[in-house]
Chain A
Amino acid sequence: MNKALFALFCLLLSWWWWLSLERIGPVASLTGWTLTGCTLFLAAYQLRKWLSILPLGSAQQWMQLHVWISFMAAFIFFWHTGLRLPDGLFEWALYSCFAATWMSGCLGWIVTTTMPRRLARHGDVIIADEIPVIRRQLQLAADQLALDSVSDTGSTTLAEFYQRRLASFFGKQTHRWVHLTGSRRVHAWLDQEFAQIQRFMAEPEWKNLNQLRELAFAKINTDVQGAGTWLLRRWLFVHIPLTHALIVLIGFHIFWVYLFNAGSI
């Protein structure tokens, strides 16, 4: 009995599918479902991370597939949409969500393949969890150096310079976006600041100044590492929610397509 009911259900489903093919068109149906499959597979990468203890293929293999299938998905997307602009609010939402997800993924891919090398080239690589600790250590060392310079030399020039020009720099992550672009603007700014102040200092004060300079450049490396690790982690906060939104929108899209075409028989 159950088998008969199941067979009947399959028959009805096939008939409905055939009708939908006629109304939606075989190409749109094929590309649409392939695109859905691709999206679900790409989204499953996150699930794979959670199931890391199961032999579902290594993360590296999944990553490679993730990249290739996302490129394939872009091609199928343009095929599916016929390179035309969306029509209506929902289509706009779906279209832009797909584009944003894809582009955020591309950005992430570029960031994850280039940023670690850039960070390693810049200086000592610092683990994200250690960055606040090291920043604080540098700040305390700079504070102490500024105080010591007064008692060592009897001059307040370095302490005032530190207070006016560098205290806020040492206090927090700065110039994140500048560092992300790979610009050396901050290095140049510090060079200029130190060169200027050195002109007003006597030679005995230079030792402390040079030590402060070393701390400042160590702080730049901390900021560069901080900016890099920030981007390496945060791009996923855009990509993953967009993926979830895309899956929901695709669900609605399929529902409405079948409701207003094949479903309305």
Chain B
Amino acid sequence: MLNLGPDNNLEFSLYGNALDRRMQEKDVNRILEMAPFSKIDASKFPASKSLQELLEQDARLVTFMPGDIIVRRGDYGTSAFFILRGCVRVVTSPEIEDAALGHTPTPKRTHWQAFKQLWTNHHEPEYRPPFKGSTGHLQTQTRLASDTQEVRAYLSDPKSVIERYATIPIQAGEFFGEIAALTRTPRTATIFAENVCQMIEIRWQGLRDLRRFSTEFRQEIDQIYRERSLKTHLAESSLFKHLDVHQLGQLVDATEFESYGDFDWYPEFRRTDAARHGQQIAKEPLIAQEGDYINDLLLIRAGFARQSIQINEGHRTIGYLGSGDAFGLEELIQSTQTGRAIALKHSLRAVGYVNLLRVPADLIQELVLPRLPSRFHPPKVPDLQTTSQAFDYVESPDRMDEGLLNFIVGGRHNNGTATMLIHLNRCTGCDDCVRACSRAHDGNPRFVRQGPRHQHLMVASACMHCVDPVCMLGCPTGAIHRKEITGDVDINPKTCIGCSNCANNCPYDNIRMVEVTDAHGEPHFDLDTERPRLQATKCDLCSDQVTGPACQYACPHDALKRIDMRQTQSFKNWLQP
């Protein structure tokens, strides 16, 4: 029997059992007696997936021991937590050191250290210094959770952490982690268990369905989102910079957020034949339909969306939108100027998944447009009355070639912030890039000069440092993480336990598992499994090198470039002959 606090005197038979199993019916029934679940009207749920079934399938009970790190700042999570018993602490300031979270600060080498690599690089492939203990030379302490058998990082002395750091307690009966789970955005703070905590962990699919079918639950979650994050997010948008606090508050109160598509887009993407990636447009969830009158301004919060127009029976891609982009602004401006309703000139579809904010059009027209500087006005879209005009618009020279756009969006290359592109009209195959990469990584190149191609463009097999880094989902030790300053995705070799989660998740096969060796070229063995120890390796953008990415720095013909695919103008400029 567990004491869940004054309002939650419930028994949970499942505590102590393996929690990767589905919850039992009686557990679900007891959860449904608790607020906020008790407020949910179960009759609103479809027969195909009742509330009971939803909780059974998309939620699980988990137990955290004191000090267990539940959520790591910067990690990408796919689930939210509801505390049944115990207390967790949110670290607010100062931040817990990177090393304690399993991350690695990689300082730049000095010039001398860079030069020294010429003779200090090891001859053996994938050399690593000796590991200590069976789980590796870990700065972060890890232990196996008795219930889920998952590896968890923990803080050995949570009490001293509470004394040394400013923390906020979250008690039983509260949610946390729902924003990152619903929007696939990084966790904004580190949260650890102060004492033994029992929680319900709800997958994003479950959260999505609970929001979809239960108005009460949606209002509850949306209210948390508004309080904790929406105001900050809107204030950061360049469109709303000129608004005062009161006006921003009006927008916050009226804004709704929605998700389209599937967070788990990558397993399906990996299975799909590359040649058919470009034909996916018809399957992509429609967010806004060309020709419909505009009611809201759509702001992309996370994920990607494809803009297209219909010509005859086909959809022609004209661009893609990512985090921070707005859809419908041009039509709203025109509508304000002409005083009549303007229909949408493009359709918008979710590529993979997209999370967006709907800001009511009348508020935008009233508060935002009158004082919006003209530099934020999007280019005017002409009225496309005839097929010929539509073709002229799609194929205008200042627009990116449609085939190339389809290649980028279909192959999800737009996910990259440092995609390695090779211009085949300029590449002489000299391999200077590979040699430079190898020299910068102790003799081990971190990319393969091959990959999908479109005309004279090749996307090489190198980590793209994605906007939506699905590789980071489920890393048990936080070894793979996004660097706070640069945003690069990096792997800490000291905390990587070789579980292969990241390599299996990467939709582009850009992470490789390698057998690590000692100074004599002999493999390191895991003392527990007695098998050669594996570690994940990938491009780290030469973050410790003084030159930046060695591959790009070494290319004499401007044939290789690391490009942020959101910067379409610089991409287009580089493609020019």
- Is A55 at the interface (CB under 8 A from chain B)? yes
A59, B546: Cβ atoms closer than 8 Å: no
- The answer to whether residues A128 and B429 also contact, given A54-B546, A59-B556, A60-B558 and a CB cut-off of 8 A, is yes
Tell me the A184-228 residues at the B interface (CB within 8 Å). none
- Is A115 at the interface (CB under 8 A from chain B)? yes
B545, A59: Cβ atoms closer than 8 Å: no
- Is B380 at the interface (CB under 8 A from chain A)? no
- Is B200 at the interface (CB under 8 A from chain A)? no
B432, A59: Cβ atoms closer than 8 Å: yes
B558, A53: Cβ atoms closer than 8 Å: no
Tell me the A44-98 residues at the B interface (CB within 8 Å). 49-55, 58-60, 62-63
Chain B residue at minimal CB-CB distance from A58: B553
Q: Which residues of A contact B440 (CB under 8 A)?
A: 52-53
Q: Which of B74-82, B112-120, B160-168, B241-249 contacts A (4 or more CB under 8 A)?
A: B112-120
- The total of chain A residues at the interface (CB under 8 A) is 26
Residue-wise, chain A 124-135 has the 8 Å CB interface mask toward B (1 for contact) of 110110000000
Tell me the A101-160 residues at the B interface (CB within 8 Å). 112-113, 115-117, 119-120, 124-125, 127-128
Chain B residue at minimal CB-CB distance from A232: B428
- Is A229 at the interface (CB under 8 A from chain B)? yes
Chain A residue at minimal CB-CB distance from B547: A55
Q: Which residues of B contact A53 (CB under 8 A)?
A: 114-115, 117-118, 436, 439-440, 545-547, 550
Q: Which residues of B contact A113 (CB under 8 A)?
A: 557
- Is A172 at the interface (CB under 8 A from chain B)? no
- The answer to whether residues A116 and B554 also contact, given A51-B118, A53-B439, A53-B440 and a CB cut-off of 8 A, is no
Q: Which secondary structure dominates chain B's binding surface?
A: loop
Chain B residue at minimal CB-CB distance from A225: B429
Tell me the B437-458 residues at the A interface (CB within 8 Å). 439-440, 449-450, 453, 455-456, 458
Alpha-carbon distance between A12 and B100 when the two chains are bound, in angstroms? 65
Alpha-carbon distance between A117 and B557 when the two chains are bound, in angstroms? 12
A112, B546: Cβ atoms closer than 8 Å: no
- Is A165 at the interface (CB under 8 A from chain B)? no
Of A117, A120, A232, which one neighbours B430 at CB under 8 angstroms?
A232
Alpha-carbon distance between A170 and B550 when the two chains are bound, in angstroms? 39
- Is A175 at the interface (CB under 8 A from chain B)? no
Chain A residue at minimal CB-CB distance from B553: A58
Q: Which residues of A contact B559 (CB under 8 A)?
A: 116
Residue-wise, chain A 160-182 has the 8 Å CB interface mask toward B (1 for contact) of 00000000000000000000000
Alpha-carbon distance between A124 and B119 when the two chains are bound, in angstroms? 39
Chain B residue at minimal CB-CB distance from A66: B556
Q: Which residues of B contact A112 (CB under 8 A)?
A: 428, 557
- Is B96 at the interface (CB under 8 A from chain A)? no
Residue-wise, chain B 158-199 has the 8 Å CB interface mask toward A (1 for contact) of 000000000000000000000000000000000000000000
Q: Which secondary structure dominates chain A's binding surface?
A: helix
A62, B546: Cβ atoms closer than 8 Å: no
B558, A127: Cβ atoms closer than 8 Å: no
Q: Which residues of B contact A229 (CB under 8 A)?
A: 429
- Is B426 at the interface (CB under 8 A from chain A)? yes
- Is B287 at the interface (CB under 8 A from chain A)? no
- Is B555 at the interface (CB under 8 A from chain A)? yes
Chain A residue at minimal CB-CB distance from B559: A116
B547, A52: Cβ atoms closer than 8 Å: yes
Q: Which residues of A contact B427 (CB under 8 A)?
A: 116, 125
Instruction: Give the interface centre of A53, A60, A124, A127 by most chain B CB atoms within 10 Å.
Output: A53
Chain B residue at minimal CB-CB distance from A236: B430
B550, A52: Cβ atoms closer than 8 Å: yes
Q: Which residues of B contact A63 (CB under 8 A)?
A: 556-557
Tell me the B97-121 residues at the A interface (CB within 8 Å). 111, 114-115, 117-118
B429, A233: Cβ atoms closer than 8 Å: yes
Of A49, A54, A124, A128, which one neighbours B432 at CB under 8 angstroms?
A49
Chain B residue at minimal CB-CB distance from A62: B556
A54, B556: Cβ atoms closer than 8 Å: no
Q: Which residues of A contact B428 (CB under 8 A)?
A: 112, 115-116, 232
> How close is A232's CB to chain B, nearest CB, in angstroms?
5
B555, A59: Cβ atoms closer than 8 Å: yes
- The answer to whether residues A52 and B556 also contact, given A120-B424, A125-B424, A128-B429 and a CB cut-off of 8 A, is no
> How close is B447's CB to chain A, nearest CB, in angstroms?
13
Chain B residue at minimal CB-CB distance from A57: B553
A116, B114: Cβ atoms closer than 8 Å: no
> How close is B494's CB to chain A, nearest CB, in angstroms?
23
> How close is B94's CB to chain A, nearest CB, in angstroms?
33
- Is B280 at the interface (CB under 8 A from chain A)? no
> How close is A19's CB to chain B, nearest CB, in angstroms?
40
A54, B115: Cβ atoms closer than 8 Å: yes
Q: Which residues of A contact B449 (CB under 8 A)?
A: 127
Chain B residue at minimal CB-CB distance from A124: B453
A55, B425: Cβ atoms closer than 8 Å: no
A120, B553: Cβ atoms closer than 8 Å: no
Alpha-carbon distance between A4 and B424 when the two chains are bound, in angstroms? 60
B554, A127: Cβ atoms closer than 8 Å: no
Q: Which residues of B contact A62 (CB under 8 A)?
A: 556
Chain A residue at minimal CB-CB distance from B448: A127
Residue-wise, chain B 537-562 has the 8 Å CB interface mask toward A (1 for contact) of 00000000111001011111111000
B425, A120: Cβ atoms closer than 8 Å: yes
Q: Which residues of A contact B111 (CB under 8 A)?
A: 54-55
> How close is A4's CB to chain B, nearest CB, in angstroms?
33
Alpha-carbon distance between A127 and B424 when the two chains are bound, in angstroms? 11
Of B115, B456, B554, which one neighbours A59 at CB under 8 angstroms?
B554
Instruction: Give the interface centre of B111, B440, B550, B557 by most chain A CB atoms within 10 Å.
Output: B557
A232, B556: Cβ atoms closer than 8 Å: no
- Is B231 at the interface (CB under 8 A from chain A)? no
Instruction: Give the interface centre of B436, B450, B458 by most chain A CB atoms within 10 Å.
Output: B436
> How close is B121's CB to chain A, nearest CB, in angstroms?
10
Instruction: Give the interface centre of A115, A116, A124 by most chain B CB atoms within 10 Å.
Output: A116
A232, B429: Cβ atoms closer than 8 Å: yes
A117, B556: Cβ atoms closer than 8 Å: no
Instruction: Give the interface centre of B115, B453, B455, B456 by most chain A CB atoms within 10 Å.
Output: B456
- Is B483 at the interface (CB under 8 A from chain A)? no
Tell me the B477-516 residues at the A interface (CB within 8 Å). none
> How close is A1's CB to chain B, nearest CB, in angstroms?
32
Alpha-carbon distance between A35 and B558 when the two chains are bound, in angstroms? 28
Q: Which residues of B contact A49 (CB under 8 A)?
A: 432, 435, 554
- The answer to whether residues A52 and B424 also contact, given A63-B557, A233-B430 and a CB cut-off of 8 A, is no
- The answer to whether residues A117 and B425 also contact, given A54-B111, A55-B111, A59-B555 and a CB cut-off of 8 A, is yes
Chain B residue at minimal CB-CB distance from A52: B436
Of B425, B430, B547, which one neighbours A54 at CB under 8 angstroms?
B547
Q: Which residues of B contact A233 (CB under 8 A)?
A: 429-430
Chain A residue at minimal CB-CB distance from B438: A52
Residue pairs across A and B with Cβ atoms less than 8 A apart, 16 shown, are A49-B435, A52-B554, A53-B115, A53-B439, A54-B547, A59-B432, A63-B556, A112-B428, A116-B425, A117-B426, A120-B424, A124-B453, A125-B458, A128-B429, A232-B428, A232-B429
Q: Lowest 3 A-B CB distances belong to which pairs?
A: A63-B556, A52-B436, A59-B556
Beyond A52-B439, A53-B546, list 15 extra A-B contacts (CB 8 Å): A51-B115, A52-B554, A53-B115, A55-B114, A55-B547, A58-B554, A59-B553, A63-B557, A112-B428, A116-B424, A116-B425, A117-B426, A120-B424, A127-B449, A128-B429
Residues of A participating in the B interface, judged by any CB pair closer than 8 Å = 49-55, 58-60, 62-63, 112-113, 115-117, 119-120, 124-125, 127-128, 229, 232-233
Residues of B participating in the A interface, judged by any CB pair closer than 8 Å = 111, 114-115, 117-118, 424-430, 432, 435-436, 439-440, 449-450, 453, 455-456, 458, 545-547, 550, 552-559
